[in-house]
Structure formats: structure tokens, C-alpha cells
Structure 1
Amino acid sequence: MIPEESVMYMRAAVLTAFGTPLTVVDMPVPAPGPGEVLVQVMASAVNPLDTKVRRGQAAHAQTTPPAVPGIDTAGVVVSVGEDVDRFHPGDEVFGMTGGVGGIQGSLAEYIAVDSRLLAPKPRTLSMRQAAALPLAFITAWEALVDHAAVRQGQQVLVHGGAGGVGNIAVQLATSRGATVYATGSAASQAAIAAAGATAIDYTATPVADYVDTHTGGRGFDVVFDTVGGATLDDSFHAVKAVTGRVVSALGWGSHSLAPLSFRNATYSGVFTLSPLLTGQRREHHGEVLRAAKLLAESGLLTPRLDERAYTLADVDDAYDAVENRTATGKVVIDVGCAAH
């Protein structure tokens, strides 16, 4: 039996029941198992999915209270478990590491992580910036690279270009030589343009009009939907015939495929949580984030952050900023010393 005084404790935010505020408690520091590393968490991003988990409106995330939420992590390796030779104590890392499927999330001072999910943190980014990338970049990569194989010379349309995934998708498609367009509200046009896309105000411009204006009526080579619902239906009307591809990160619900079928175009969906929930292809997440590291260090990838500072003490304020859409960029919580 381990003496109580030898157990190390950490602060963590815990979801005790759906629809309630998170509670900050003391809990034991986890030990890394085989293939895992123990990471001191410096920063944790808040995604819209995190807020849905808190409300109990994300059954696909397979979260059961009590649970430590937080999907995205940036921090420093403290120790490594058996069979880990890729990382060493002191390494700065980032990844999409937990917060779903019963896996401890990143709203804690320490987290034991499957090393396959991690990549070295980009040298050019702060801990806060690195924490903002994993889910958004992996989602964008799986859509635009794994599914759509975006390449130079193509015209790419991103729906929701000012959102967390959309902003990264614009930068990724641009880095691959595509000409990028992105839809958003009137208030988001400047942010979309700053990311490198031609901004389209979907509230003022019908689909047929912007397809005619920007593609001569032919349609876009690739349409990436980050919004879902009626926006996915619009995507089927905006894609190019025969060779066009529509990819959605929110392809849920019922949709008529007739417009897509008449174009002989194709559709595919992205479910970024799958490796976390199933344990399969986790190494792909690490590989994708290594690509993000190269792009960031080349100056081709920079996350857009909300400037407000949050800690574990005001974690619910951070969640509310995302849920109420008052944030002006990705919300990041400083869990440890983010300036490490």
C-alpha cells in the first residue's frame, strides 16, 4: 500500500453532471502506462464540442460524468512509460489527447497521453497557440488532404471560414496552392480575408450568385462544410460536376443527395474523434500534427486566438465565451505556465 503522503495531487476541472458548472478539485496525478507519456499541461483550448459535452448534447463523444474535459493540449513531457522512445522529459508537445470516450481531458495540470497522439510543439508558436491547433488542424487535414487531396490550381470553398476549423482550413488549402473562398457573416469578412481567402457574405449572396461570380458557373473543385445543416445542402449546389468533392465535418441529419447526384460529384464525411474513441489509427493524428509543425515553422499556419486570459479558476467563463459566440478567436485556458 502506498503511503498517502507519497501520492502527488493536481488541480483539475471536473464535469460532475451534464448542464452544470465545472468543479475544480484536487485529484491524483496519473502515471503513464506502456506507450504513454506524462505531460504537464500548459494550455488547453476550448472547442464548440467541449461546450456540447458540458451540456450533455454530444452523445457521439461518449462522455459520462464525472469526467475531466478538454480535448486539445500543449505542454511539457515530465516522464515516459515503457516502450516510448520518441519523446523524452523536457520535450514540448501538443496534441488532441482526450476529453472524450472516458479518456482524461486536458483541463488538469497533468495528463497521461498515448504518445502516438502527440507531436513536437512548433518552435515558432507559444503554448497557447499550439493548444489551439490540434482538433481544428486534424479535422481540416482529414477533409482537405486525406479525403479531397486538395492541390495547386484548384478552387476551394470553405463554409464557416472564420470559425476554429474554417480558419485553419483556409490556411491549409492556401498552403497547398489552392485558390480559396470562404463563407461567413458580414461581421466575419475581415477575419476571413486576413486568413487568405476571398470572403463571401452568405447572408447577402445566394449560392448561385457566388458560384457564377467566382467559378463562371462551373462550381468549386472542393467544398468543405464546417457548419452542417442547410449549409451542407448548399454545398451540393456549389460543387463542380463530375470531379467535384464535398466534405463535411458535420454531415449529420437528413439531406437530399439529388443535387450532388445530378452533378456526378462525390461526398465524404470526417469524424475526427474516431482514433480517440476506437484506439485505431492514432499514429495518424501524430503524423498530421507533425505536418502542422512544419507549416507553422514555415510561416504558413498561425491560429487566431481570443485575447482574453482564462485559468482553471474561471474555466466556465471560457466555455461561456465559446458557447455564446462572444470570442474573437480560439479560446485557450492557461492551465500551467503558458510562457514556459
Structure 2
Amino acid sequence: MSTAQPAVPRMKAVVMERHGGPGVLRYTDVARPVPGPCEVLVRVRAAGVNPVDVKTRAGEGVAALLGPPPYVLGWDVSGVVEETGFGVTGLRSGEEVYGMPRFPGPAGAYAQYVTAPSRHFARKPASLTHTRAAGLPLAGLTTWQTLVDLAELRAGQRVLVHAAGGGVGHLAVQLAKSRGAYVIGTCGPVKAGFVQSLGADETVDYTAVRFEDVVRDMDLVVDLVGDKEHQRRSLRTLRPGGLLVAVPSGVDEDVVREAEERGLRTAAVLVEPDRAGLDALTDLVESGRLRVEIDVALPLAEAAKAHELVETGRTRGKVVLTVD
């Protein structure tokens, strides 16, 4: 009688073998995950690449939460439900979904398949390809949770978005405009026309002027740069009671104290999975009020090159990996 065990299904994935430069990312075979109770197995069609991926690869970002490598990086996913675990009620096999599963824990999006709680996914906007949809979850939810959940942005308020041509920035400009805000975006001269096409009322070329010299009376500043001095300069653009939200790295303690002395507010955002937020983003996409700009789409095997592009800080919109 044979005692051979059934073969474990395999898949292609990009494994981060150790912390370091883009060269630590290796395209290889790994075991395919199995969905547990209340989880779905999703066949990945595209995976977004975000600055947090790059920082985590280097040992920063959320690396401390993931434990020692090796592991598979990535959070942004667009794909098709392949299998549902026990107890899943909201999704069915064959449905197209997108999401940002498990963040800031390990999701393993740079792979042919991922598993995650079903409610970390939502149905993909029908008007978006998987490539465009994969660029939306992390950046889009960061934007939604910053502008809507935290800042409670209202029509008529004034918003300054730093790095307005980037992955989060280009979505923040559009979302703020969809809520009736007056939006000013900082960017370099190459991206000025792009940011204006998103609906920005004004753009400020940070290479030509100091933004705090020309921007005043803002209700909200969305800082996507993260530098302490940049945050301090941003305080000078706020009106009394205004809010500075720092997304990449939190607000420096000295900046918090200075803000309090000036009668200003500060806050930090760490994005979390949120089906309701994804559904809200889908509504904006389907109504034509939100578009996802993809700068470059590369095959999964070229994840290292994708990281190199994101590290430049010059990409317009998002970088995405396509998965066969």
C-alpha cells in the first residue's frame, strides 16, 4: 500500500530573503496558502507597490510587526475569489475583488494567490481593470480614512496636499474635491499639469518657492512627505484650529508641542482594512469622481525593478505588478 502524501499545491511569489536593497527580492516557488474559517483564497491578477513596501524591505516601515524574513511582501490586491473558507457569506467563488488584506500584518500580495479574512476584500469596481484596481486599496483607504473618517472634511474647507502627484496624493486631491473642498497641491513642475487635471484649484511648485510663503488659512494639511522640518513649515499654513495629518511617519513630538502652542491640531494615520471604505471608493470610481493613475505596470518577476522606481519618489500615481 502506498503511503505517499498528496503534493502540496505550489505557486510563484516574490520572497524577501532578508532586509536590504531591491536585490533581496527573489521570484521563486512557494507553497500555496489554504483559506481558514471566514477567509477567502484569491487568485491575484495584480498587486500594487507602495512606499511602505519599500521601507519594509529595507527593515523600516512595518518590518518590526512582520518578524524576521524570509516572507512575501505586498498588501494591495486585485483578483478573483478562487475558494471560500467555512463561514464566508459575503463573497462567492468567481467574484472579482480588491482589497488591502491584513495590513499592517503579513498579507503576501506579491504572489499568485493570497488568503485573508473575506471582509478585508470588496467587489472590484466593474469599470476598472485589475491593474488599475490594484493601485487603489492602500492609497485609497489611506485617503478616505484621513479626509473622511479623521478630518471629517466638509464642503468649503481648504486643504493642502503635499506630494499631490504621488500615489496617495493624486487620490487625496480628487477625494477632497469630491467633497467640495478648495484644494492646493504641492508638486514639482513636471507634475503640475497632472495635478491640475485632477481638479486641484492651485498648485505650488516646491522647487521654485517655499510653500509656507504662498499658502495661508488652510483647514487641513495632508503631509505625505514625513520630514520634521516639512511638518513644522506646514503648521505656518494652517488657520487657528486647523489640522495637520502626517501619513508616512507620524507627527514629530516637537511639532506636536509647537502646534499645541499655536492652537493647532495634529494627528497621524495608519491605514487599516475596511470593506465599507472600499465600497465608498468604488462608488466614487463608478460615478467618475475618482480615477487611479498607473505610472508603470510590470510583471511580478520584476518586483525589484518596481521597488527601484518607487524609491525614486518621482512616479506619477501608482506602480503595479501584474500576475499571470
Partner of 1:92: 96
**Contact kept in structure 1, 2:154 and 2:179, CA below 8 Å:** yes
C-alpha spacing 1:83/1:232, structure 2 compared with 1 (3 Å) = same
1:40-189 correspondence to structure 2 within 5 Å: 40-59=43-62, 62-63=65-66, 64-98=68-102, 100-101=104-105, 103-189=106-192
**Contact kept in structure 2, 1:70 and 1:99, CA below 8 Å:** no
C-alpha spacing 1:185/1:84, structure 2 compared with 1 (3 Å) = same
Partner of 1:9: 10
Aligned-residue CA RMSD in angstroms? 2.0
**Contact kept in structure 2, 1:75 and 1:93, CA below 8 Å:** yes
> CA-to-partner distance for each residue in 1:277-308, whole Å, 9 max, x for gaps?
xxxxx5xx1111110110000011111111x4
* Residue 312 of structure 2 is aligned to residue 332 of structure 1: no
**Contact kept in structure 2, 1:35 and 1:82, CA below 8 Å:** yes
Look up the SS of the partner of 2:218 in the other structure: coil
Distance 1:301 1:4 in 2: 50
Given residue 8 of structure 1, which amino acid in structure 2 is its aligned partner?
P
Distance 2:259 2:19 in 1: 38
C-alpha spacing 1:257/1:191, structure 2 compared with 1 (3 Å) = same
Partner of 1:278: none
Partner of 1:317: 305
C-alpha spacing 1:293/1:59, structure 2 compared with 1 (3 Å) = closer
Distance 1:56 1:139 in 2: 22
Look up the SS of the partner of 1:11 in the other structure: strand
Report how far residue 188 of structure 1 moved: 2.2
* Residue 282 of structure 2 is aligned to residue 293 of structure 1: yes
Report how far residue 262 of structure 1 moved: 4.3
Given residue 29 of structure 2, which amino acid in structure 1 is its aligned partner?
D
Report how far residue 311 of structure 1 moved: 1.2
Report how far residue 104 of structure 1 moved: 3.6
Which runs of 5 or more structure 1 residues have no equivalent in the other structure?
212-216, 276-281
Report how far residue 3 of structure 1 moved: 4.7
Look up the SS of the partner of 2:126 in the other structure: coil
Given residue 14 of structure 1, which amino acid in structure 2 is its aligned partner?
V
Report how far residue 4 of structure 1 moved: 4.4
Given residue 313 of structure 1, which amino acid in structure 2 is its aligned partner?
A
Report how far residue 163 of structure 1 moved: 1.2
Distance 2:139 2:111 in 1: 21
Report how far residue 171 of structure 1 moved: 0.7
Report how far residue 39 of structure 1 moved: 0.1
Given residue 146 of structure 2, which amino acid in structure 1 is its aligned partner?
A
Structure 1 range deviating more: 18-27 or 81-90: 18-27
Given residue 224 of structure 1, which amino acid in structure 2 is its aligned partner?
V
Distance 1:89 1:231 in 2: 47
Partner of 1:214: none
Look up the SS of the partner of 2:90 in the other structure: coil
Look up the SS of the partner of 2:254 in the other structure: coil
Distance 1:60 1:314 in 2: 22
Structure 1 range deviating more: 92-101 or 229-238: 92-101
Look up the SS of the partner of 1:255 in the other structure: helix
C-alpha spacing 1:65/1:271, structure 2 compared with 1 (3 Å) = same
C-alpha spacing 1:154/1:315, structure 2 compared with 1 (3 Å) = same
Q: Provide the identity percentage.
A: 38
Given residue 248 of structure 1, which amino acid in structure 2 is its aligned partner?
A
Partner of 1:240: 239
Distance 2:61 2:38 in 1: 29
Distance 1:181 1:13 in 2: 38
Distance 2:7 2:77 in 1: 27
TM-score normalised by L of structure 1: 0.87
Distance 1:207 1:9 in 2: 52
Please point out which of 187, 198, 220 is paired with 1:222.
220
**Higher strand proportion:** 2
